[in-house]
Amino acid sequence: MSAYRRLTINEVGDVTVVHFRDSRITEDLSIQELAQELFHLLDVDKRKKLVLNFAAVDFLSSSALGKLITLEKKVKGHNGQMKLCSIRPQIYEVFVITRLNRLFDIRKDEADALAAFQAAAQQ
Amino acid sequence: MTDQPRLWQCERVIPSQSGAGRRVQQEILDQLLRQRWGPRDIFCIHLALEEAVANAIKHGNRHDPAKCVHIRCLLWPDRVRIEIADEGAGFRLSDVPDPTRPDRIESPTGRGIMLMRSFMSRIEFNDLGNRVVMEKERSEASEPSLGQEAVQGN
């Protein structure tokens, strides 16, 4: 994909850090585009280590959670790893209520997520 | 719950298209902001509203362009009530599995009603299952301001 419209992509070593351009991730066409871009990172660009940074996200719906679950399964299917970070407290509460905080590897911030990748690589 | 005068209400009908509810959702959120509801309460209401409208469009009306979603909102100083009705056949609440069950946790769908229940003070479906009434009581951290004006509803 020559240009990502919903995501900002940065590489930190062999880790791909993804920032969301939309502050609200909800049930409409934009979430379909967002999912396509996320899946493209895996399926086409073959990225295997992902950090999804939610710093700019102040609202997301359960359909967004569904896309993240699908992405998590794809990452594991590709023998990759994914970490989420910088999730605002109100959004994090949604993960806790739905117990998805146990499914995803959620880190406090980007530095923490990258450090965790580094620590795992050194083992 | 005090018997206070209603400040505002609206009734809207939207088509069964993803994103069709965005304008009326913003209208409701703007009224809450105008009445100085706190950010946490607004987040809770926003999320429940988003889930309920999405459910009505996707599951209730199955994106049928011939069917609409009816949204009604009533606002009092101490609470808000949102009623959402679709034109579908309805469903049985007991048929919706707990999305936190280990065998359901990786399902990409099925969390909307749970989130509605968690973030609103109360929700109630009609017997058919094609209409939900949700209420949120204003939290103590979100006190109404003195002398707030009643806003003309429509």
| ipTM score | 0.90
d(CA B71, CA B83): 6
Most A-contacting residue of B50, B57, B63 (CB-CB within 10 A), to test interface: B50
Q: pLDDT of A8-24, one tens digit each? A: 999 999 999 999 999 99
Flag whether A1 is in a domain.
no
Pick the CATH number of B8-142 from 1.10.3720.10, 3.40.50.1820, 3.30.565.10, 2.40.30.10: 3.30.565.10
Domain limits for position A24: 7-114
Q: Does any CB of chain A come closer than 8 Å to the CB of residue B42?
A: no
Inter-chain touch B115–A103, beta carbons under 8 Å = no
Cβ contact B73:B80 at 8 Å: yes
This prediction's pTM: 0.90
Q: pLDDT tier at A82 (50, 70, 90 boundaries)? A: very high
User: How far does chain A reach from its first CA to its final CA, in angstroms?
Assistant: 33
Q: pLDDT tier at B150 (50, 70, 90 boundaries)? A: very low
Among A62, A73, A103, select the one facing B112 at the smallest CB separation: A62
Q: Does any CB of chain B come closer than 8 Å to the CB of residue A45?
A: no
Alpha carbon of residue A63 to chain centroid: 14
B118: nearest CA in chain A?
A: A97
Inter-chain touch A27–B114, beta carbons under 8 Å = no
